[in-house]
Amino acid sequence: MSVTPVLEADVLRRQDPELAEILLGELTRQSTTLQLIAAENFTSPAVLAALGSPLANKYAEGYPGARHHGGCEIVDVAERVAVDRAKALFGAEHANVQSHSGSSAVLAAYAALLRPGDTVLALGLPYGGHLTHGSPANFSGRWFDFVGYGVDAETGLIDYDQVRALARTHRPKAIVCGSIAYPRHIDYALFREVADEVGAYLVADAAHPIGLVAGGAAPNPVPYADVVCATTHKVLRGPRGGMLLCGRELAERVDRAVFPFTQGGAQMNTIAAKAVAFGEAATPAFTAYAHQVVANARVLAAGLEAEGLVVTTGGTDTHLITVDPMPLGVDGRTARGRLAAAGVVLDCCALPHGEARGLRLGTAAVTTQGMGEVEMARIGALLAGVLREKVESRRARDEVRDLVGGFLPYPG
Ligand SMILES: *Cc1c(COP(=O)(O)O)cnc(C)c1O
């Protein structure tokens, strides 16, 4: 397997050694440190090949069969394949695969369903809501009136009673479910029930779990939500990008909300790469992958708990784990720094209780590398050793190198 045709062909190295060096430096970083960022993954060489293909040259405003540019007959086929594969994979009546990112997909969902000033109920940012769920620094907080629900301070689980109570009080135009840090399955049926009770649209922002949905390892929001927003680059393992899934009645509104309302020309190389990723996600190998991702996360969560860290909600149903490292004497920020020095890459996150920050980690990338439960146990012990300063960072770095050296993301 080669990394990309470009790197293989050495074209870039000859023409622009400065950039070639940077690209290879990043490849080395990804291959020699431990990638535990919950939102990241390693795309396949086939996905990278589609991304680096001449489809990157094509302008294609509009939709297949109705473009504002000539010469779209080939890319039209690519987009139709991507749409058909997405519909089949998630059991959706309609798919829009043009969103440039997860945030763009959420923006389009709001544009399709809401008017500025409408009230929206979403998980509060301190509990794991995304910036697009009402942050004052984001268009969502500026243009809509967001009301936040929370999680139970003790259990870390979504407070569904509060969701219902807030919905009854505020009568939102839309309810958003989905999070950047929630490790458990979301009860989409219950959200649907509340949305129906108050006459709200239900928007599922499944940016994180959509890959698990594709592999049958998490519940599918498509039958419950009016619009599902997602990314294609997290557990789903495709190119960086977004997509929307919905029923037939909202298809046209969603399409218009993407183009021409919030975006211009579609990125046809990315759309082709999304098609490749959907094709991969429809295989039994991906189903096995998705289940292994969850099995790995459970072992890692149990390992961290056994080492004394507090695991939010006491475990995980997904690829995602959030922990409070305070019992080991470090806050999240210090912990992230110590781990970075040891070659372990992960994020900080908010915790359901109090002010202190925690750590968020995920198993999508390491599972793609081929790691299993044995490696997860080793990683849990390693992390705890580094946080307790029982292992000095140079020795930890060597152990990380040794571990990932056996599971190169792009062998050769
Ligand atoms: C990752 C994520 C997004 C945004 O995705 P981008 O591609 O970074 O814009 C939106 N919502 C949720 C819940 C996410 O986890």
pLDDT per residue as tens digits for the range 106-130: 999 999 999 999 999 999 999 999 9
CATH 3.40.640.10 domain position(s) in the chain: 54-281
Segment 338-364 mean pLDDT: 91
- pLDDT band of residue 94 (cuts 50, 70, 90) is very high
Q: At what angle do helices 284-306 and 268-281 cross, to 10 degrees?
A: 80
Token couple for 264: 């211009």
Buried b (16+ CB within 10 A) or exposed e, 227-247: bbbbbbbbbbbbbbbbbbbbe
Residue 4 has pLDDT above 60, yes or no: no
Segment 164-184 mean pLDDT: 98
Residue 7 has pLDDT above 60, yes or no: no
As annotated, the active-site residues are 59, 61, 205, 231, 234, 240
Contacts 24+ apart (CB under 8 A), 3-9: 3/27, 3/45, 3/48, 3/410, 4/45, 4/48, 4/49, 4/51, 4/52, 5/49, 5/52, 6/52
pLDDT 10s digits, 145-157 = 999 999 998 999 9
CA of 137 to the centre of ligand 1 (A): 15
Residue 6 has pLDDT above 50, yes or no: no
CB of 178 closer than 6 A to ligand 1? Answer: yes
CB of 238 closer than 6 A to ligand 1? Answer: no
Mean pLDDT, rounded, of the chain? 95
3 state SS of 344: strand
Residue 273 has pLDDT above 90, yes or no: yes
Report the distance separating Cα 304 and Cα 332, nearest Å. Answer: 14
Average the pLDDT over each of 6-15, 30-39, 41-50, 350-359 and give the range with the smallest value. Answer: 6-15
Pocket test for ligand 1, best of 37, 98, 99, 103 (most atoms within 8 A of CB): 103
Place of tokens 């990157």: 56
CA of 107 to the centre of ligand 1 (A): 11
- pLDDT band of residue 301 (cuts 50, 70, 90) is very high
CATH 3.90.1150.10 domain position(s) in the chain: 284-405
CA of 398 to the centre of ligand 1 (A): 33
Q: How many CA atoms lie within 13 Å of 195's alpha carbon, on the beta-carbon side?
A: 23
CB of 226 closer than 6 A to ligand 1? Answer: no
Give the architecture (CATH level 2) of 54-281.
Answer: 3-Layer(aba) Sandwich (3.40)
Segment 391-408 mean pLDDT: 93
CB of 128 closer than 6 A to ligand 1? Answer: no
CB of 230 closer than 6 A to ligand 1? Answer: no
Give the architecture (CATH level 2) of 284-405.
Answer: Alpha-Beta Complex (3.90)
